[in-house]
Amino acid sequence: MTRGERQRLRTGLLFALPWFIGLSVFTLYPVGASLFYSFCDYSVLQSPIWTGTENYQRMLHDVVFWKSLRNTGFYAALALPLGMVTSLALALLLNTGVRGLAAFRTIFYLPSIVPVVAGAMLWLWIFNGQYGLLNWALGPVCRLLGGAPPAWLADPRWAKPALVLMSLWGAGNSMIIYLAGLQDVPAELYESAELDGAGWWRRLWHITLPVISPVIYFNMIMGIIGALQTFATVFVMTGGAEGNPARSTLFYALYLFSTAFYDLRMGYASAMAWVLFLLIVTLTVLATKLSEKRVHYAG
């Protein structure tokens, strides 16, 4: 290395020192430690005892583990597509050049910055089976169809759909990202398509979506990673980490949390964490492979 190079290396490392410390202490060490713990029996009260792959084997037979996986998968499979469609639809509508764009944008974005706990309380109230706003609105419709409005969070069959509905309220965040992407679409593409007689659907499908496909891809990946780790909303809305009612809302992150901090089985929890990691990586790689053909990056 030349003297200049050595000098720059020193300065560069010095400036980046906070990150090196942070990376080591708050990321690299925990990653290594949790991998180690996942092969151990570890309650914080004693040192970890090596047990090999016992945690992973136990996981295969753990009914609750599979239930939590199914719950999380069900939620993600609903919330993700619905969320993406909602935010994209809102962005498309806003992009038509309506008056009051800023006001609409604010209204749709505001709910996504509402503190999670406060929002959860509000929606708990709206979902209330007896006095909640939602059931009052649904009452006439349900009676017409010969039924009654669901008990939402009190009913194991409707608790997860309730959580999905609530997640849509936060669509404003992605909407902003889509809107920015939509505004980057060159107007000439639309103009020439209109000249060729393309209707709005064809314009959407053949121009808009391909051009913003990187943005869609980004939101999808972020969505997968987020949905699989859902914790705070479920915790607050179901009153804890038990997944009430009847474990229907026991999401993966909740079960992990209660295993680690209530049951003090930190080895098992670490194993669950690594399974989650692998799951996320797999899904991300899968999603990337599937989108390869469809994601067009502007030249």
Question: What is the footprint of another protein within residues 50-109 (CB under 8 A)?
Answer: 90, 93-99, 104-109
Residues 197-236 that bind another protein (CB under 8 A): 200, 203, 208, 215, 218-219, 225, 228-229, 231-232, 235-236
CB neighbour list of residue 129: distance below 8 Å, 6 or more residues apart: 135, 149, 150, 151, 152, 154
Which residue, 66, 82, 80, 38, is CA-closest to 250?
Answer: 66
* Residue 130 touching another protein (CB under 8 A): yes
Residues 157-176 that bind another protein (CB under 8 A): 169, 172-174, 176
Q: Which is nearer to another protein, 159 or 271 (CB)?
A: 271
**DSSP for 36-56?**
HHTTEE--TTS--EE-TTHHH
- Least Cβ distance, residue 142 to another protein (angstroms): 14
Instruction: Name which position in 64, 73, 138, 274 contacts another protein (CB under 8 A).
Output: 274
- Least Cβ distance, residue 69 to another protein (angstroms): 13
**DSSP for 94-132?**
HTTT-TTHHHHHHHHHHHHHS-HHHHHHHHHHHT-TTT-
* Residue 27 touching another protein (CB under 8 A): yes
Instruction: Name which position in 85, 117, 141, 286 contacts another protein (CB under 8 A).
Output: 117
Distance CA 66, CA 94 (A): 41
- Least Cβ distance, residue 267 to another protein (angstroms): 9
* Residue 298 touching another protein (CB under 8 A): no
The DSSP bridge partners found for residue 40 are 50
Size of the residue set binding another protein (CB under 8 A): 104
- Least Cβ distance, residue 104 to another protein (angstroms): 5
Rg for the chain (alpha carbons), in Å? 24
- Least Cβ distance, residue 148 to another protein (angstroms): 13
Instruction: Name which position in 82, 138, 154, 276 contacts another protein (CB under 8 A).
Output: 276
Residue with tokens 């992009």: 95
Q: What separation, in Å, do the N-terminal and C-terminal C-alpha atoms of the chain show?
A: 37
- Least Cβ distance, residue 121 to another protein (angstroms): 5
Residue with tokens 């609903």: 78
* Residue 141 touching another protein (CB under 8 A): no
